[in-house]
Chain A
Amino acid sequence: MVAEGLRIQDVSKTFTAPEGGSVRALDGVSLDVGTSEFVVLLGPSGCGKTTLLRAIAGLEDVDSGRIDLAGERLDTVPPFRRAVNTVFQSYALFPFLTVERNIAFGLEMERRPKAEIRQRVAHALELVELSGFAKRTPAQLSGGQQQRVALARALVKEPKVLLLDEPLGALDLKLRRQMQAELKRIQRSVGIAFLFVTHDQEEALALGDRIAVLNDGRIVQVGTPQEVYESPETRFVADFIGETNLLPVERDAAGTVTVAGQWKLVAAEIVGADEALVAGGDQVVLAVRPERVRIDPGGELRGVVAEAAYLGADVHVAIDMGEGLLINVRTDAQDAIPEVGERVAVRIDPRHTRLLSS
């Protein structure tokens, strides 16, 4: 039991649409966030990740379940008294206040002494590297700078958890990368727990100490970036995070499985085989990442090169295994690039594959 951090237990929330239908946005969600942990909520749009964030902030009531912060019940406290702060997707800066006054707002609400406010605002401006911009108004700032103000405005309150709702969504790719690194640096230096919502799996892998993958209002897997990438527990996770080959699998009574009709191997060699075969019956697939597939003349699977694209750092090859099945392969750009139409064999190490029920 983590008494220190944020504890979400069995939280559910249903929205009623104006037309009368209802949407189950959160369906029995449980999650623990440690005191200085960077946790990413990852999922497709409409999976409930933003609703969960808003429930923690107090901007949305929950139907059932409870949320505790540092051992005290949080979900019954009004939003303006919660020790959590939010960085909104639209930044939601006050357009009529300068950068400095925007950041001071939360401390003024706490009725802090003027000297303390001045000192903490200056420190927050330094943290987000906007010291020269104190007197500007939000309209005079670029998107990236506005985003830093929103971050400073929330962080200056020293919340126990900082909630970030797709804060980098509006930035271009280069600025996004730069802000990711910056967020990581800031999180380490302030030591506050960050709960970060995104639909971008690359961003999730780059930022999270742990990633919670959501789908249809449920958390489907929680783990470190390596765990969710290397060991996806469901077909959804394997498919949503990164590129994955999902190969059809048949099995026989002797405990042997046949992949793509060509490659026979003992089921026990594959990670996750037991659960998948029990849960999925015959409906199982073998998941393998393109970079884990090797083009190798001695390989077990044979096909014809359908596509070969040079991408700079690496090469993407699609191999037609017959019957409409393609295996995607990523190889080093220094290797020989196979010709389209060439017959090749590929080798897959069973240790880098997972059997998943589909």
Chain B
Amino acid sequence: MTGQADTRRYPGIGPAARLAFAFLYAPLAVVVAYSFNSGPIVSRWEGFSLVWYREVLERSDVRDAVWVSLRVAVAASAAGTALALLAALGIVAMVRRGSPLAVGFLSTPLLVPEIVTAVGTLSFFVLLDFERGMTTLVLAHTAFCIPFALLPIRARLAELDPAVFEAASDLGASGFRLFRRVTLPLLVPGIVSGALLAFIISLDDYLISAFVAGPTSTTLPIFLFGLIRRGASPLINAVSTLLLLVTVAVLTASYITGKWRKPK
């Protein structure tokens, strides 16, 4: 019997794990459950109803916020993933030349406190005299999407047999044709997975968006925060539940595509 199996049998491990799960998921469960509450007060259950979901669909301010968020997420995840792909290929070349810095520079943004990035990005736009709105939102989101999109692309690149690229070169491929005919198809699972991850990161972002968004570009998280300041309403639960649903679906898709055609 292995030591690992023994640890799992220690008394108390089971209940502790269940407690941790409850701690993690209880708030989500409350949000989801109360989104089906028929009454207007978040803290009192009055019966099952889809009334709040109907309101989500009918309210134009919700629709507007969703529309802004979707446009930003699509544009930023596409641009961020494209840049991440170039960065991933650049890293390969830099590592080959012996530079250990490349990966560090591109991954540090994952660890920098988001508020610092938010303040920095805002100062940057002020300095350049950019008017805050969709453009600044998309630019800021693109920037923080890059390190996230980079993760699955680099993971994919690492598991590929480098001889495949040598074979392509040996058979006469070079430059852009090598990229389009070999590199790109090999990296597709990583690219799709990275784009989906970036899409969710962009869709869920509040802090940076709040700093750089203009009055006409209210994203869904900013809208929700505005709503909640005017008092909790089951409407927020309904929107949050839908957002949760989209997140889980997209992240699942991201995970699955990352595992596609895993080379032996």
Contact = CB atoms under 8 A, between A and B. Distances in A.
Interface of A: 18, 57-59, 78-81, 85-86, 88-90, 92-96, 105-106, 108-110, 139, 153-154, 157
B170 A85 contact: yes
A157 B263 CA distance: 26
Nearest to B184: A96
B33 to A, nearest CB: 45
Contacts of A59: 166, 169-170
A29 B27 CA distance: 71
A96 B172 contact: no
B143 interface: no
6 contacts: A78-B174, A94-B182, A96-B185, A105-B168, A153-B167, A154-B170
Nearest to A59: B166
B173 A80 contact: yes
A110 B171 CA distance: 9
Interface in B156-200: 161, 163-164, 166-174, 177-178, 181-182, 185-186, 188
Given A80-B174, A90-B163, A92-B166, 11 more contacts: A81-B172, A85-B171, A92-B164, A93-B167, A94-B168, A94-B185, A96-B185, A96-B186, A139-B261, A139-B264, A154-B170
Contacts of B3: none
Contact of A109 (B172, B186, B261): B172
B98 A18 contact: yes
A209 to B, nearest CB: 24
Contacts of A85: 170-171
Contacts of B186: 94-96
Given A59-B166, A90-B161, A90-B163, A95 B173 contact: no
B172 A80 contact: yes
Contacts of B164: 92-95
Interface in B247-264: 261, 263-264
A153 B168 CA distance: 11
Contact of B163 (A92, A95, A105): A92
Lowest 7 A-B CB distances belong to which pairs?
A109-B172, A106-B171, A92-B163, A92-B167, A80-B174, A96-B185, A88-B163
A238 B56 CA distance: 85
A80 B185 contact: no
Contact of A110 (B161, B170, B172, B188): B172
Given A18-B98, A90-B161, A94-B164, A80 B261 contact: no
A85 B264 CA distance: 24
B170 A86 contact: yes
Contacts of A80: 169-174, 178
A88 B261 contact: no
Contacts of A95: 164, 186, 261, 263
Contacts, number: 72
B181 to A, nearest CB: 8
A138 to B, nearest CB: 9
A94 B182 CA distance: 8
A105 B171 contact: yes
Nearest to B263: A95
A89 to B, nearest CB: 8
A88 B172 contact: no
Contact of A92 (B161, B177, B264): B161
A108 B168 CA distance: 11
Nearest to A85: B170
Contacts of A92: 161, 163-164, 166-167
Nearest to B165: A92
A92 to B, nearest CB: 4
Contacts of A105: 168, 171, 173, 181
Contact of B170 (A79, A93, A139): A79
Contact of A157 (B168, B169, B172, B181): B172
Nearest to B186: A96
Contacts of A157: 171-172
A106 B174 CA distance: 11
A299 B41 CA distance: 110
Nearest to A153: B171
Contacts of B261: 95-96, 139
Contact of B171 (A58, A78, A96, A109): A109
Interface centre among B161, B171, B173, B264 (most CB of A within 10 A): B171
Interface in B77-105: 98
Contacts of B171: 80, 85, 105-106, 109, 153-154, 157
A22 to B, nearest CB: 14
Contacts of B166: 57, 59, 79, 86, 88, 92
A58 B168 CA distance: 13
A153 B161 CA distance: 17
Interface in B224-264: 261, 263-264
Contacts of B161: 90, 92
Interface string B19-41: 00000000000000000000000
Nearest to B175: A80
A90 B264 CA distance: 11
A289 B164 CA distance: 43
